Structure 1
Amino acid sequence: MKKEILRLQDVTYKKQNTIIFRNMTFNILKGEIMGFIPMNSYGMDELLDVIVNNLPLYYGYVYYQDKCVNSWKEEKHSRNRICLIDSETSLVNGLDVLTNVFTLRAGFGQEILNEKMLTMQLQPFIDELGVSIDPFMPVEKLPAYKRVMVELLRAIVAGYHLIIIREISTVISEDELGKLFDIMRYYTGKGFTFLYVSYHFEEIQQVCTRAILMSEGSINLIFDKEQIKKGISEDNYIDYYNHVSQRLLHRARGNVPTAESRKEVLYVRDMSGKYLDHFQFSVYKGECLVIQSLDTRMYNEFLEILEKEGGFKDVDMLVEGKKVSDYRTRKIAFMKEEATQTMLFDDLTVRDNICIGLDRKAPNIWLKKRIQKSVQEEYYRIFGEDIFDCYINELSDEQKTRVIYMRILLEKPEVVFMVQPFKHAGTPHRMQVWELQTLLLERGISIVILAMNMSDSLTIADRVIRISRVDGKMTTKEFTYNQFSELPMSLPWVGFFDELKNNGEEI
């Protein structure tokens, strides 16, 4: 019988007089990869905080390595020897790999560092990972995958027997994710245990031996190995599945025009850099193009080109046949990653945040109350709520998301670039994003999604271009809508297109 590494027994956690989760009970066995699928983000941060940092409990017990490390009867102030690897780095910038792995960990008692000896101690661990890492490289210069490897190294060297990996597919490529899964399997054979948190069951299926499904702070189901292979029941996310699958069926049956029959609104004639090599693509009126990068360096370079101050210096871009050099024309819009945190001014009202984006189209908008009133009425007509005079910091995440999309609707660009719009999104948020993107497309606004992790982008896409580097050269492969079933089955929703094809549906 396998030994338990972690057990939560009837754990209830209360925050600011609100019960976040109640009677949470599950265990993780030594040497397994346990999956965790949050249907939404509610309670996820707090749960991980309880596991790692022993937050005060309202009721229940937490056991780690056969010891009761937290109890409702008494507060524990110690941190458990558990590693959390997230999409945001926990490494200390300005210090090298060697320092981050050895000298910053608890229990390291050497005052005088013998770098040669430490390097010799580290090298066997690096060799196990099968990746080339310079021990003296400052960690901020590491690409995302190597950064994840260094965080994993730190946990292995420190002897952390439980390693939590959360939403890591948003920062590393599809190929790198496969390598990470192989490494996780290798270390389970050496007695380490993993808790892998992802919003996408397709990822869980690739690597996990059991999985927990959580919604609104409650455990809905614990899957065993056979149930994971069988797949997640549609009942667990029926509203989202019905919404999306009906749209996909509608499009699959030929009710949406092909890209070739649409007007070209954007032509990127040349996008070049250190890793991108004369990349070209077109975007058509009212379509969604997903550009998935299988190489983190290409992804970051693409992003840098679009975000660079001073305009589009490394890209030759035409909108409706006319060259554009920056965003000031409002012909192109740009939605940043995690836009609710990066694109709104918390200390301004909804009115101000929306009107900021319209000051070029309507220069006198700040003086003309009639225009502001018209914008307010349009917002209410679309979203059914009057929050125009509320401050951003008073809104929910769902309301903030609507404000951002409303600003784009009113700006009426020809094309909007979106960076991983489904990142960290639970099922309700993914449905909201999908519906808002659909609204943009219906208004004739084209969407270009830049993604590392495909996430739910396939549900809104008309075309997909996958870019990568092979033997030092850039490669591109385009998939039209009727070719989506040819994409890797590990990607979310590819199975749906494969099923349509097997059922004889004309795509």
Structure 2
Amino acid sequence: MREEILRLERVTCREQGVVQLENFNLQIFRGEIMGLLAVNSHGLNTLVRLLRRRLPLERGYVYYRERQINAWGSQIPDRTLQRIGIIENRSSLVSGMTVADNIFVLRPSFKSWLIRTSLLRTQLKPVLEQLGADFSPDDYVDRLTPFQRFVVEMLKAVLGGCRLIVLREVSTFISDADLSRLHAIIRKFAQEGISFLYIGYHFEELREICDRTALLMNGTIPKVLLRGEPLFPCGEPYHQLVRGQMERENSTSPTKRVAFQASHITGGEVRDLSFSVQPGECVVLQDLNNQIFADLLDLVTGQLPLEKGNFEMEGKPFAPGYTREIAILLEHAHDSMLIKEMSVLDNLCFTLDHRLPEVWRSNRLRRGIERECGELLDPELFSLWPEQLTTPQKYDLIYTRVLLQKPKVIFCAQPFQGADMELRMRIWNHLKRLQEQGAALVILAVNLADSLSLAHQLIRIHRGGPHEYYSREDFSRLSDTTPWADFYQHFG
């Protein structure tokens, strides 16, 4: 009989008066890689918090390694606290310390008064060699790549006694090439009896690595898919939306005018990067090492000097700097792009003063903006503050603001990061609307995710070069595990 590592049985959990998990059931066995596909995100954060520390339950039971660690209406002693490792986008490693220090010295069970560096190195070196790691125990974690830091966090969890490791949104900060290496390491640990809960938003990614995949919808698990079982019909509306758009685009011819061009750009981590994008077109820059995004945006906005190369906008030299002709959408835009001290209407008008100089003085003009945006935003939202909005409403506000701004070029940093299937469809529609308005899109991505469904060009950026350039006709050559690659293979 298989050893059970985790079981959540009929769990109902409420936070701030809202039921987040309802009659939630999940079972993970020893050495199993269990996928969790978030069709929508309701209850996902609560589930992770429940595994990280014990939350009070309204109903149900939680078992870890066949031992009850949480139950409704009862208090479980602290000595039964679970050892579950959780690895997310934000690294938990301590900067300024070595790999060995992070793995051994900072774990609760380390009780030595004297740190014997040579002993720690001797213990860790064979483990790294066994995994084929390309870094040493003495390397500082600040200098590691995202993939290397991820491996260190996994080792820290395993050597710290965790028998279950939760991996959340791995593909948003690990590139395609490194993802295959990571999957090999996960399988190796699974063979040694470590279990994994692999949380993601793309079935293509989960089906490659997971033994079973549970669907999370509205705080419950309606279905568990076995390996090889197709996903249907949860993602079908989204697939139909993208398929229809691609069929329409295949029947239209692109314009020849270039909206924005970068020629041999060099500065910071960016090395000899060239690309061009036309109005209504989308180019995806895939950073395989997750190193250049911040520097590229700083080069465009003039915060970082160009060492080499130049920019052009509509065939004319473009001096880097802040301009309303360029819009920049940062990662997690619903958190990073709104001003909490301003109302929803003020946030909406924030980038309009170049088109409507009287926008801050004319109430009549602002009422006209409310009427104009009535089809895109719920009119009842205009009197609210950003913190009162839901996440989808925040995204609606941000993209409507950019739509009113009417920029010629839009740089989007990982627009689909952290978005469930429903929110991805919403963001996809907003980006399509901006394209139809004539804006040129430049999407910065670590993993392609849904960006490929919008792309006309793909540039895969290697550290130090050379870079790989793909036109839409070449997308069919991409790996089958790439989201939406099967669509391009169909249309290719």
TM-score (norm 2): 0.94
One of 84, 87, 102 as aligned partner of 1:85: 87
Equivalent of 1:226, from 217, 225, 228? Answer: 228
The answer to whether the aligner puts 1:495 opposite 2:486 as a matched pair is yes
Distance 2:2 2:11 in 1: 23
1:421 to 415, 424, 435: 415
Is 1:257 equivalent to 2:256 in the alignment? Answer: no
Note the C-alpha offset of 1:137.
3.6
Per-residue CA deviation, residues 192-248 of structure 1 (Å, 9 max, x unaligned), is 111111101111121111111111111121111232xxx312x11232222222212
Q: Secondary structure in 2 aligned to 1:383?
A: coil
Match of 1:242 in 2: 240
Q: 1:192-211 alignment to 2 at 5 Å?
A: 192-211=194-213
Could you say which residue in structure 2 is the equivalent of 1:504? Answer: none
Superposed CA deviations along residues 340-361 of structure 1, whole A, max 9, x for unmatched, are 1111111211222222212344
Instruction: Give 2:473's match in structure 1, choosing from 478, 482, 487.
Output: 482
> Which residue in the other structure is 1:291 paired with?
285
Q: 1:322 to 1:243 in 2, by over 3 A?
A: same
- Structure-2 change in CA distance of 1:300 and 1:205 (3 Å): farther
1:103-133 per-position Cα deviation (integer Å, ceiling 9, x unaligned): 2112211122111111111212222221233
My pick for the range that moved more, 419-428 or 51-60, is 51-60
- Contact 2:61-2:68 within 8 A present in 1 as well: yes
Deviations 1:331-374 (A, max 9, x none): 21111011111111112112222222123444443223333233
| Alignment partner, residue 161 of structure 1 | 163
- Secondary structure, in 3 states, of the residue corresponding to 1:257? coil
Out of 186, 189, 192, the position equivalent to 1:187 is 189
Secondary structure, counterpart of 1:149 in structure 2: helix
**Matching residue's letter, 1:336:** L
Q: Which of 434, 445, 457 in structure 2 is aligned with 1:451?
A: 445
Q: Secondary structure at the match of 1:160?
A: coil
- The residue correspondences of 1:69-468 to structure 2 (distance < 5 A) are 69-76=69-76, 78=78, 79-227=81-229, 231-233=230-232, 235-252=233-250, 254=251, 256-258=252-254, 261-273=255-267, 276-299=270-293, 301-306=295-300, 309=303, 316-468=310-462
* Structure 2: distance between partners of 1:307 and 1:85: 33
Q: Which amino acid aligns with 2:113?
A: E
Partner of 1:505: none
Is the 1:418–1:448 contact (alpha carbons within 8 Å) kept by the matching residues of 2? yes
Structure 1 residue 307 displacement after superposition: 6.1
Taking structure 1 as reference, are residues 345 and 76 closer, same or farther at Cα in structure 2, changes over 3 Å only?
farther
Question: What's the offset of the Cα at 1:488?
Answer: 1.4
Aligned in 2, Cα 1:351/1:489: closer, same or farther, shift over 3 Å?
Answer: same
Give the direction of change, closer, same or farther, for the CA distance of 1:127–1:274 in structure 2 (3 Å limit).
farther
Q: Which amino acid aligns with 2:129?
A: D
RMSD, aligned CA: 2.0
Instruction: List runs of 5+ in structure 2 lacking aligned partners.
Output: none
Distance 2:17 2:271 in 1: 56
Deviation larger for 382-391 or 83-92: 382-391
| Aligned-partner residue type, residue 289 of structure 1 | V
Range with bigger deviation, 482-491 or 181-190 = 482-491
Name the SS of the counterpart of 1:267 in structure 2.
Answer: strand
Q: Which residue identity is paired with 1:199?
A: Y
Distance 1:409 1:57, change over 3 A: same
The DSSP-based 3-state class of the residue aligned with 2:228 is helix
Residues 240-298 of structure 1 deviation map (CA, whole Å, 9 limit, x = unaligned): 2222222122223x1x323xx33111111221146543221111011111111223334
Instruction: Give the match's secondary structure for 1:112.
Output: coil
Closer/same/farther in 2, CA of residues 307 and 53 from structure 1, 3 Å limit = farther
| Matching residue of 1:60 | 60
Q: Tell me the number of residue pairs that the alignment of Structure 1 and Structure 2 aligns.
A: 490
Displacement of 1:483 after TM fit? 2.7
> Percent identity between the aligned chains?
33
Q: Name the structure 2 match of 1:7.
A: 7
Q: Contact 2:266/2:306 (CA < 8 Å) preserved in 1?
A: no
Give, in whole Å, the separation in 1 of the partners of 2:437 and 2:397.
17
Shift of 1:85: 0.6
Does the 8 A contact of 2:280 with 2:439 survive in 1? yes
Q: How far off is 1:445 after superposition?
A: 1.0
Deviation at 1:138, TM superposition (A): 3.5
Q: Report the alpha carbon displacement of residue 381 of structure 1 after superposing the two structures with TM.
A: 3.7
Return the alpha-carbon distance in structure 2 between the equivalents of residues 18 and 277 of structure 1: 49
Residues 149 and 414 of structure 1: CA distance in aligned 2, closer, same or farther (over 3 Å): same
Gaps of 5+ in 1: 502-507
| In structure 2, distance between residues paired with 1:314 and 1:111 | 52
Cα distance in 1 for residues equivalent to 2:383 and 2:202: 37
Deviation at 1:313, TM superposition (A): 6.6
Partner SS, residue 25 of structure 2: strand
Q: For structure 1, which segment, 172-181 or 45-54, has the greater mean C-alpha deviation from structure 2 after superposition? A: 45-54
The CA distance in 2 between the partners of 1:458 and 1:39, in whole Å, is 20
C-alpha separation in 2, matches of 1:500 and 1:475: 28
* Over 4 Å off, 4+ runs: 298-301, 310-315
What TM-score comes out, normalization by structure 1 length? 0.91
Deviation at 1:388? Answer: 2.2
8 Å contact from structure 1 (residues 13, 21) kept in 2: yes
C-alpha contact (below 8 Å) 1:272/1:314 kept by paired residues: yes
* C-alpha distance in structure 2 between counterparts of 1:93 and 1:407, whole Å: 37
Give, in whole Å, the separation in 1 of the partners of 2:401 and 2:15: 34
Summarize the Cα distance change of 1:348–1:459 in structure 2 as closer, same or farther, 3 Å threshold: same
Distance in 2 separating the partners of 1:17 and 1:50: 16
Q: In the TM superposition, what is the alpha-carbon distance from 1:304 to its structure 2 partner? A: 5.0
SS at match of 1:5: strand
d(CA) in 2 for partners of 1:274, 1:294: 16
Q: Mean alpha-carbon deviation: is it higher for 71-80 or for 176-185?
A: 71-80
Question: Which letter does structure 2 place at the counterpart of 1:426?
Answer: D
Counterparts in 2 of 1:194 and 1:402: CA distance versus 1, 3 Å:
same
